[in-house]
Amino acid sequence: MAFSSDFLRELEARSPIEEIAPSYVQLKRSGRNLMGLCPFHNEKTPSFVVYPESNSFYCFGCHKGGGIFQFIMEAERLAFPDAVRWLAQRAGMTVPEDGADDGMSRLRTRILEINREAGRFYFGVLSTPAGAAGYRYLRERGLSNRTIQRFGLGFAPESGYALVDHLRAKGYAPEEITAADMARTSQRGRLYDRYRGRVMFPIFDLRGNVVAFGGRVLGDEKPKYINTADTPVYHKSSGLFAMNLAKEEAARSRALILAEGYMDVIALHQAGFSNAIASLGTALTEEQARVIRRYAEEAVLCYDADEAGQRATQRAIPILKGAGLRVRVVTVPGGKDPDGYIRSQGENGPLRFRQLLEAGGNDTEYALAKLKARFDLDTEDGKARYLREAVNTVLAGLDGLERDIYAGKLAGETGVNRESILETARQAALQRQRREKRDFDRSLAQVEALESSVNPDKKGNPRAAQAEEGILAYLFAHPEASREMAAALPPEKFVTRWNRRVYELLLGKTMAEPAPRGPMSLADFAQELSGGELAELTRVVNRRREAPVSPGDVQAFREILLEEAGQASAQEIREASPEQLRAYLEALRKRK
């Protein structure tokens, strides 16, 4: 059966290959990727690569590759529809298909019902004597009744059995309640509430279903928060608190504010910043970053100002950038979190926080500020060390224009000649580029030594095939350029038949209405391409990740194809009539 692209994309986002693959192969980190011995053929030297950024894999030994669907098809020996069902069961998603409901699907439905009923129960407790302490806490934290209702906040009674008794009275079986992680079983076999004496924060999926809860203790008991464990309907590595509410504002502003905790997000929403979200009790994951990229182009990090929050900020920046997001960082003054800062400013809290947002620098400015704080710029040694670190770790990774801008800023801070800083940064950038090119050429040589069974035309047209692959990789990452590309380079200008077919598929998907948001995914092609074809596309896309294709490269590739498209192959020349041969030679003379 055919699955909708929206369903496959969501399932792919909730199925990170870096979490699933280690069950089949031992992997070690290698830069931005993971490597190991291929699980699909015998080998002594690791040639199996997992690419977390594109949620894909490729083996340079047996040439198998593709996205997470192809991985499960190979690992579990399943057909594509069965691999989709396998992953959907793991992700707690219902497969949109006709037919009888199986046991796991029924359990997921029951868990969602239990969560919804539990959310109503906790919310109702707030207005009773048993929930008075919870209601008082929320009001003291500055939350209005409207905000409490909007987020469905509640309170878990102290008794330890109130929710269990309520759910059992509604007809839910003990095994269903424990599967939802709403209860635990004592050593004596008695069911008791998972949450007791805690303010409850329901967690919703993008469809508005309650999939989990977070509970905060009112006193000093540890842990301060406890959260629902992974269940058939919830995986914390992909969940984002308040994303169901923030996605609409994100669609308008193309930005999401990423805070650290539930109360920060709720306070920001109440203050008018309805595009605020938070990761759920874990450090930000690549899977969550991919979800964010589906709805936004920019992520604004607003973590706590303490040391732990700053470490989390530094860790999150490359993850968000790796997903294709622009990143800005807001530092809340006074060591406060966003919630505390807004409340400390009284009625001016929303205005003051908006000023912080507007003043927040990008990730480069944040990196330079963190470096600057480490050195004493009143000493010559401190200036020299600061400049050396800034040039090698920050400026060397920027493009020419950005490097020029920040060299000027560093000159103003240190009094060192701007041209001297800029020249040192250029040299550092050249050294970095040489290293990256050396590594890239080494991996490229491995691939180029292979003959493509998927694209046999490549062997006789290597120059055109390389240009075509560059264009495919660019469109994969920048689908918004498809209309302009189609006008400048129609599919018939592609020389190799397989690349032409993929190009036509790409244009068809990217020019459809509504247009896809963010980069294309291998899941978008899972139903049109065979396993070998998806492996080839995986190689094409991931090969260009270390050295991304620029608009200038695309122009050069386009010129190559326009030139090559007008050249006859050796076979065509041999088979041409005298008239055709004369016409071809005349066309070549005119081009010269």
pLDDT tens string 282-336: 688 877 887 888 889 999 999 987 888 888 898 899 888 877 789 999 988 887 8
Which pairs with CB-CB distance under 8 Å and at least 24 residues apart come from 251-257?
251/295, 253/296, 254/296, 254/297, 254/298, 255/296, 255/297, 255/298, 255/299, 255/300, 256/292, 256/295, 256/296, 256/298, 256/299, 256/300, 257/300, 257/302, 257/330, 257/357
User: What is the SS3 assignment for 545?
Assistant: coil
What is d(CA 434, CA 424) in angstroms, rounded to the nearest whole number? 15
| Structural domain ending residue among the three candidates 315, 336, 369 | 369
Please check whether residues 292 and 403 belong to one and the same domain: no
Q: Are 249 and 195 in contact (CB under 8 A)?
A: no
**Is residue 96 one of the residues assigned to a domain?**
no
Q: What is the number of structural domains in the chain?
A: 5
Please check whether residues 86 and 186 belong to one and the same domain: no
Residue 190: Cβ within 10 Å count? 13
Supply the CATH number for residue 55's domain: 3.90.580.10
What is d(CA 125, CA 156) in angstroms, rounded to the nearest whole number? 7
Please check whether residues 468 and 577 belong to one and the same domain: yes
Which pairs with CB-CB distance under 8 Å and at least 24 residues apart come from 490-495?
492/565, 493/561, 493/562, 493/565, 494/464, 494/468, 494/561, 494/565, 495/457, 495/461, 495/464, 495/465, 495/468, 495/561, 495/564, 495/565
What is the signed CA dihedral for 41, 46, 47, 53, rounded to 10 degrees? 110
| Structural domain ending residue among the three candidates 369, 396, 413 | 369
Q: Classify the C-alpha dihedral 480-482-485-486 as positive or negative.
A: negative
Please check whether residues 532 and 549 belong to one and the same domain: yes
| Structural domain ending residue among the three candidates 197, 227, 257 | 227
Low-confidence ranges of the chain (pLDDT < 70): 1, 97-104, 281-282, 436-452, 513-518, 546-547, 565-592
Please check whether residues 341 and 438 belong to one and the same domain: no
Q: Classify the C-alpha dihedral 249-15-98-104 as positive or negative.
A: negative
How far lies 62's CA from each of 38, 39, 72, 304, 447, in Å?
A: 8, 10, 16, 47, 12
**Is residue 451 one of the residues assigned to a domain?**
no
Supply the CATH number for residue 473's domain: 1.10.860
- What is the chain's Cα-based Rg? 28
**Is residue 315 one of the residues assigned to a domain?**
yes
What is d(CA 40, CA 61) in angstroms, rounded to the nearest whole number? 10
Please check whether residues 324 and 255 belong to one and the same domain: yes
What is d(CA 314, CA 309) in angstroms, rounded to the nearest whole number? 9
Q: Are 332 and 316 in contact (CB under 8 A)?
A: no
Please check whether residues 250 and 334 belong to one and the same domain: yes
Please check whether residues 476 and 556 belong to one and the same domain: yes
**Is residue 12 one of the residues assigned to a domain?**
yes
* pLDDT tens digits, one per residue of 453-512: 788 888 888 888 889 999 999 998 888 888 889 988 999 999 999 999 999 999 988 887
Q: Secondary structure of the chain: what % helix, strand, coil (to 5)?
A: 55, 10, 30
Domain that holds residue 344: 240-369
**Is residue 234 one of the residues assigned to a domain?**
no
**Is residue 233 one of the residues assigned to a domain?**
no
Residue 571: Cβ within 10 Å count? 9
**Is residue 450 one of the residues assigned to a domain?**
no
In this structure, what DSSP letter does residue 522 have?
A: G
What is d(CA 328, CA 358) in angstroms, rounded to the nearest whole number? 10
Please check whether residues 521 and 552 belong to one and the same domain: yes
Please check whether residues 499 and 542 belong to one and the same domain: yes
User: What is the SS3 assignment for 91?
Assistant: helix
Cβ-Cβ contacts under 8 Å for 336 (sequence gap 6 or more): 304, 305, 344
Cis before 350? omega within 30:
no
Please check whether residues 125 and 154 belong to one and the same domain: yes
What is d(CA 233, CA 211) in angstroms, rounded to the nearest whole number? 6
286, amino acid identity: E
Please check whether residues 348 and 389 belong to one and the same domain: no
**Is residue 97 one of the residues assigned to a domain?**
no
Please give the pLDDT value at position 302.
93
Burial class (CB in 10 A: 0-12, 13-18, 19+), 451: exposed
